[in-house]
């Protein structure tokens, strides 16, 4: 009888060993942790006989690995640009190649092949060198300097490293100084990190007003020939570029200019004479939106249209 | 956790089935008894008086025999003749026959039933001749000689004579001094040629409790026995705590037979199967337990005597060892299996967490670059949640295996203890 219980116990143990021990939960492990979020796929702009298309292609992580731009005028391909991006295994942008073909009015085809080489230090971009891949000439440089890992200056230089533009930022990332030597720009006035006025050597003055989100709402130009003004208004929906990822290690500083945050819905152009509005042209952009609020495109009151396609968008 | 109750139920089922089996294995056999009544009538009284007289004389003859054999005046041939005459049929016959067993008291270290050796009469007397120092005078004395009442056995009347024995000589090989011991002689009465004669059938140490009261030991009065003989082997059972009190029994589903009982530890006869132990005043019973390895004798006064199935110590030790090593091996195997199971689960979990860690790192990086809200990293299960229910098997298997190892060690220790006890007994 005792042996019977021993056998039964052994049987139970074997059952436990054989059946139970090998059992564990089998939770689904996704192939990728990157959520399938909304991403811009194509932008098509049609304006009378001109039509341009920009298409974006993404890698598995969601970074743009290729974009194409095509422009047709009256059914003829006038310009095309292919941009390709290469990333390191840890998703730093390693190189960029822009290949552009433009047909000149005389019918000749002008080709460009620009290469961008990215140099990082401690995970932060230091320099972007732009090279003409056809002639191997240096076309320009973008230089970044940091203070306590905060962007201090951003410079755009020509192929011989001559300064074109220089932006200086405070510790909070706000623009505090802007220089554009060797240009017609005489001076700028900066308020709260935004360029509110530009004074050119020909005494032309352009002043800007911004909303709280850094979008230009009013741009007034006073030149010896007169005064003109652009007024802009925006919706509250996210601009399509918000569907794209930022670049790792490459800051996107507020350069004190217009920041595209929302979609433009009106654009008004006024010409003043003797302090009075002499003429006014107002363009209204009617957008349709996805459920998430991204613009599916718009129809502008002058007939221009834009169509936007997204992937993973409701 | 969802398998916890399953395991608990399994455990309860095992316990319950064991308890049920234990209960089921209990068998009770009952018999009615009656005390042997003292003879009535003048003729019987005369018979009993005669038997008592003869018995006392026989014990005196025994004393004479012992002193004669230890006398230095006898020749070897005379000693041989005296020895043989003590158990062969003749006028001086003292012992019933040469198969009478005597508990040895010649070795001065033998002072009780628990510490002696059983010798047949010839060997006993020759040991006395060999080892006890000879003297010109008597050196062996009996005192406090008492007789029991005459008991009518199934075939012959018998009687017990109690006395105190004192050896004042020395053992020529053992240095220990003799000390007085209490002895009992059991004598069988036979009517030979119209005269009652008594013969010693057993000579032993007086056991604790073996007094006058024991002489009125009940006998099974139930005359009805099984219609067919019990078709099973005779099995010896030994009284717990005793090395010599044994029962030889066999039984079937209806009857239990006490075929032999040393020292009258229980009445001989047939006991009928019963559902319960009887509370009747004249009923005694035997109850089996522990898979018929334990037998409890309940006397009329409610006193319980426990007997255990006698097993060959060598086989028992071997079985305990085998069981011990088997359990240790099974336990180690189980622990190994549990460890292997745990390792398998841990490795599987490590693979799982490595994948998720990589995914989470990728997600966290993505989160720093996206301008949209939404999504979230995949959640990682804890080890216990992930490895359910296997982990319960691992823990349970580990516990059971540890239990087996502990039990195996206990079995080995038990075997070792038994071996030491057995070796000690064997040397005696």
Domains of chain A in sequence order: 184-314 (2.40.128)
- The confidence score (pLDDT) of residue B34 equals 61
Interface test with A, best of B353, B372, B401, B407 (most A CBs within 10 A): B372
Closest partner residue to B394 (CB to CB) among A19, A21, A61 is A21
Handedness of CA A103, A105, A107, A108 (dihedral sign): negative
Query: Which chain A residues are within 8 Å of B352, Cβ to Cβ?
Result: 27, 29
Q: Where does the pLDDT of residue B2 fall: very low under 50, low under 70, confident under 90, or very high at 90 and above?
A: very low
Q: Cα–Cα–Cα angle for B73, B74, B79, nearest 5°?
A: 155
The shortest C-alpha distance from B348 to chain A (Å) reads 9
Whether A34 and B366 lie within 8 Å, measured CB to CB: yes
Most confident of A139-148, B234-243, B311-320: A139-148
How many A/B residue pairs have CB atoms within 8 Å? 118
SS3 assignment, position A100: strand
Instruction: For residue range A252-307, list pLDDT tens digits in order.
Output: 999 999 999 999 999 999 999 988 999 999 999 999 999 999 999 999 999 999 99
Whether B396 and A16 lie within 8 Å, measured CB to CB: yes
Whether A245 and B14 lie within 8 Å, measured CB to CB: no
B363 vs B427, more confident? B363
- The confidence score (pLDDT) of residue B148 equals 85
Instruction: For residue range A219-249, list pLDDT tens digits in order.
Output: 999 998 899 999 999 999 999 999 999 999 9
B298: pLDDT strictly greater than 80: yes
Whether B14 and A20 lie within 8 Å, measured CB to CB: no
Whether B344 and A12 lie within 8 Å, measured CB to CB: no
Q: Where does the pLDDT of residue B15 fall: very low under 50, low under 70, confident under 90, or very high at 90 and above?
A: very low
Closest partner residue to A245 (CB to CB) among B330, B348, B369 is B369
A3: pLDDT strictly greater than 70: no
- The confidence score (pLDDT) of residue B393 equals 85
Interface test with A, best of B293, B350, B366 (most A CBs within 10 A): B366
A8: pLDDT strictly greater than 70: no
Whether B397 and A17 lie within 8 Å, measured CB to CB: yes
- Phi/psi region, residue A249 (left: phi>0; alpha: psi -120 to 50; beta: rest), is left
Query: Which chain A residues are within 8 Å of B355, Cβ to Cβ?
Result: 29
A34: pLDDT strictly greater than 80: yes
Interface test with B, best of A20, A85, A88, A290 (most B CBs within 10 A): A20
Cβ atoms of A217 and A204 within 8 Å: the answer is: no
B388 to chain A: closest CA residue: A24
Q: Where does the pLDDT of residue B8 fall: very low under 50, low under 70, confident under 90, or very high at 90 and above?
A: very low
> Rounded mean pLDDT of B253-272?
84
Please enumerate residues of A whose Cβ is less than 8 A from a Cβ of B.
Answer: 1-2, 5, 8-10, 12-13, 16-17, 19-25, 27, 29-30, 32-35, 37-38, 61-63, 90-91, 238, 242-248
Whether B369 and A37 lie within 8 Å, measured CB to CB: no
Q: Where does the pLDDT of residue B14 fall: very low under 50, low under 70, confident under 90, or very high at 90 and above?
A: very low
For A191, residues 6+ apart whose C-beta sits below 8 A from its C-beta are none
CA distance A87 to B104: 104
CA distance B25 to A182: 112
Calculate the CA dihedral of residues A275, A280, A284, A285 and round it to 10 degrees.
-80
Whether B366 and A33 lie within 8 Å, measured CB to CB: yes
Element (H, E) at B187: strand B181-192
Please list the alpha-helical segments (H only) found in B70-119: 76-85
B20: pLDDT strictly greater than 50: no
Whether A29 and B359 lie within 8 Å, measured CB to CB: yes
Query: Which chain A residues are within 8 Å of B369, Cβ to Cβ?
Result: 62-63, 91, 245-248
> Rounded mean pLDDT of B125-132?
92
Interface test with B, best of A15, A16, A123 (most B CBs within 10 A): A16
Query: Which chain B residues are within 8 Å of A34, Cβ to Cβ?
Result: 362-363, 366, 375
Quick check: bond before B389 cis, omega within 30?
yes
Query: Which chain A residues are within 8 Å of B400, Cβ to Cβ?
Result: 9, 13
Cβ atoms of B120 and B102 within 8 Å: the answer is: yes
The shortest C-alpha distance from B266 to chain A (Å) reads 28
Q: Where does the pLDDT of residue A10 fall: very low under 50, low under 70, confident under 90, or very high at 90 and above?
A: low
Closest partner residue to B393 (CB to CB) among A2, A20, A32 is A20
The shortest C-alpha distance from A246 to chain B (Å) reads 5
> Rounded mean pLDDT of A169-196?
95
Query: Which chain B residues are within 8 Å of A248, Cβ to Cβ?
Result: 365, 368-369
Q: What is the CA radius of gyration of chain A?
A: 28
> Rounded mean pLDDT of B202-222?
69
Whether B355 and A23 lie within 8 Å, measured CB to CB: no
* Average pLDDT over all residues of chain A: 92
Closest partner residue to A21 (CB to CB) among B355, B372, B397 is B397
Percent of chain B with pLDDT over 90: 36
A19 to chain B: closest CA residue: B390
Q: Where does the pLDDT of residue B154 fall: very low under 50, low under 70, confident under 90, or very high at 90 and above?
A: low
Q: Where does the pLDDT of residue B43 fall: very low under 50, low under 70, confident under 90, or very high at 90 and above?
A: confident
- The confidence score (pLDDT) of residue B204 equals 93
DSSP code at position B39 = P
The shortest C-alpha distance from B128 to chain A (Å) reads 49
CA distance B25 to B358: 62
Interface test with B, best of A2, A14, A23, A28 (most B CBs within 10 A): A23
Closest partner residue to A25 (CB to CB) among B366, B370, B385 is B385
A11: pLDDT strictly greater than 70: no
What are the phi and psi torsion angles at B20 (to 5°)? -65, -45
CA atoms within 13 A on the CB side of B108: 18
For A85, residues 6+ apart whose C-beta sits below 8 A from its C-beta are A63, A64, A65, A66, A93, A95, A96
Q: Where does the pLDDT of residue B13 fall: very low under 50, low under 70, confident under 90, or very high at 90 and above?
A: very low
SS3 assignment, position A43: strand
- The confidence score (pLDDT) of residue B224 equals 66
B15 to chain A: closest CA residue: A5
> Rounded mean pLDDT of B280-297?
85
Query: Which chain A residues are within 8 Å of B349, Cβ to Cβ?
Result: 24
A245 to chain B: closest CA residue: B370
- The confidence score (pLDDT) of residue A253 equals 93
A1 to chain B: closest CA residue: B291
**Which candidate, B121, B120, B212, B200, places its Cα nearest to that of B162?**
B212
Query: Which chain A residues are within 8 Å of B398, Cβ to Cβ?
Result: none
- The confidence score (pLDDT) of residue A288 equals 96
CA atoms within 13 A on the CB side of A23: 12
Q: What is the CA radius of gyration of chain B?
A: 35
Whether A61 and B366 lie within 8 Å, measured CB to CB: yes
Whether A30 and B386 lie within 8 Å, measured CB to CB: no
Closest partner residue to A30 (CB to CB) among B18, B352, B378 is B378
- Phi/psi region, residue A216 (left: phi>0; alpha: psi -120 to 50; beta: rest), is beta
Cβ atoms of B384 and B393 within 8 Å: the answer is: no
Query: Which chain A residues are within 8 Å of B14, Cβ to Cβ?
Result: 5, 8-9, 12
Interface test with B, best of A7, A9, A13 (most B CBs within 10 A): A13
Query: Which chain B residues are within 8 Å of A30, Cβ to Cβ?
Result: 359, 378
A82: pLDDT strictly greater than 80: yes
B341: pLDDT strictly greater than 70: yes
* Average pLDDT over all residues of chain B: 83
> Rounded mean pLDDT of B78-89?
90
The shortest C-alpha distance from B386 to chain A (Å) reads 5
Whether B371 and A244 lie within 8 Å, measured CB to CB: yes
SS3 assignment, position B180: coil
B117: pLDDT strictly greater than 80: yes
Cβ atoms of A234 and A264 within 8 Å: the answer is: yes
- The confidence score (pLDDT) of residue B1 equals 39
- The confidence score (pLDDT) of residue B327 equals 93
SS3 assignment, position B82: helix
B106: pLDDT strictly greater than 80: yes
- The confidence score (pLDDT) of residue A92 equals 96
């Amino acid at each position: 009888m005792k042996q019977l219980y021993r056998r039964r116990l052994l049987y139970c143990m074997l059952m436990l060993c054989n059946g139970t021990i090998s059992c564990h939960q089998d939770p689904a492990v996704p192939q990728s942790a990157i959520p399938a979020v909304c991403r811009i796929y194509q932008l098509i702009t049609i304006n009378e006989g001109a039509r341009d298309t920009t298409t974006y292609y993404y890698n598995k992580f969601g970074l743009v690995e290729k974009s194409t731009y095509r422009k047709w005028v009256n059914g003829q391909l006038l310009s095309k640009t292919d941009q390709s991006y290469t990333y390191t295994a840890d998703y730093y942008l390693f190189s960029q190649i822009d290949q552009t073909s433009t047909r000149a009015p005389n019918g000749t085809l002008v080709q460009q092949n620009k290469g961008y080489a990215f140099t990082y230090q401690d995970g932060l971009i230091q320099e972007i060198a732009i090279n003409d891949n056809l002639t191997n000439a240096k076309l320009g440089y973008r230089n970044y300097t940091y203070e306590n890992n905060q962007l201090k200056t951003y410079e755009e230089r020509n192929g011989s490293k001559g300064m074109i533009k220089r932006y200086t930022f405070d510790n909070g990332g706000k623009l505090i100084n802007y220089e554009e030597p060797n240009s017609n720009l005489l001076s700028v006035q900066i308020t709260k990190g935004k360029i509110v006025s530009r004074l050119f050597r020909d005494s032309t003055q352009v002043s800007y007003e911004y909303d709280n989100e850094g979008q230009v709402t009013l741009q007034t130009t006073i030149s010896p020939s007169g005064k003109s003004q652009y007024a802009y208004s925006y919706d509250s929906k996210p601009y399509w570029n918000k569907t794209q990822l930022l670049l790792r290690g490459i800051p996107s500083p507020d350069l004190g200019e217009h920041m595209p945050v929302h979609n433009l819905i009106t654009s008004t152009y006024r010409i003043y004479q003797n302090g009075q509005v002499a003429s006014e042209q107002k363009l209204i952009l009617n957008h349709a939106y996805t459920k998430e609020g991204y613009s599916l495109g718009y129809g502008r009151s002058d007939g221009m249209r834009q169509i936007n396609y997204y992937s993973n968008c409701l | 956790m969802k398998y916890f109750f399953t395991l608990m139920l399994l455990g309860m089922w095992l316990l319950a089935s064991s308890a049920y089996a234990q209960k089921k294995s209990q068998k009770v056999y009952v018999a009615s008894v009656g005390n042997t009544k003292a003879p009535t009538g003048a003729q019987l009284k005369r018979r009993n008086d005669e038997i008592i007289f003869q018995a006392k004389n026989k014990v005196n003859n025994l004393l004479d025999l012992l002193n004669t054999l230890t006398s230095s005046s006898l020749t070897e041939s005379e000693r041989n003749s005296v020895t043989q005459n003590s158990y062969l049929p003749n006028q001086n016959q003292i012992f019933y026959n040469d198969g009478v067993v005597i508990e040895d008291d010649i070795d001065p270290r033998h002072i009780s039933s628990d510490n002696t050796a059983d010798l047949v009469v010839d060997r006993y007397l020759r040991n006395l001749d060999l080892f006890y120092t000879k003297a010109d005078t008597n050196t062996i004395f009996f005192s406090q000689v008492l007789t029991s009442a005459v008991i009518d056995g199934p075939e012959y009347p018998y009687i017990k004579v109690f006395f105190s024995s004192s050896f004042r000589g020395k053992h020529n090989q053992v240095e220990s001094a003799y000390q007085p011991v209490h002895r009992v002689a059991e004598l069988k009465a036979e009517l030979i040629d119209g005269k009652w004669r008594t013969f010693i059938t057993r000579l032993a140490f007086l056991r604790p409790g073996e007094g006058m009261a024991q002489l009125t030991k009940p006998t099974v009065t139930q005359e009805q026995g099984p219609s067919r003989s019990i078709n099973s082997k005779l099995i010896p059972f030994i009284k717990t705590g005793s090395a010599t009190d044994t029962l030889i029994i066999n039984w079937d589903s209806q009857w239990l037979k006490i075929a032999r009982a040393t020292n009258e530890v229980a009445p001989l006869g047939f006991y009928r199967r019963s559902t319960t132990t009887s509370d009747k005043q004249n009923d005694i019973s035997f109850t089996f337990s522990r898979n018929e390895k334990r037998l409890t004798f309940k006397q009329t006064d409610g006193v319980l005597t426990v007997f255990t199935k006698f097993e060959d110590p060598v086989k028992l030790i071997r079985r305990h060892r085998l069981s011990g090593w088997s359990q240790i091996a099974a336990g180690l195997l189980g622990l190994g299996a549990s460890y292997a199971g745990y390792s398998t689960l841990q490795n599987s979990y490590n693979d799982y967490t490595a994948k998720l860690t990589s995914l989470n790192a990728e997600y966290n990086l993505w989160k720093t670059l996206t301008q949209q809200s939404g999504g979230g990293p995949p959640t990682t299960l804890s080890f216990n949640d992930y490895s359910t229910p296997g982990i319960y098997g691992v823990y349970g298997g580990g516990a059971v295996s540890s239990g087996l190892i502990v039990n195996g060690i206990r079995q080995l220790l038990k075997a070792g203890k038994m071996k030491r006890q057995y070796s000690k007994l064997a040397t005696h």
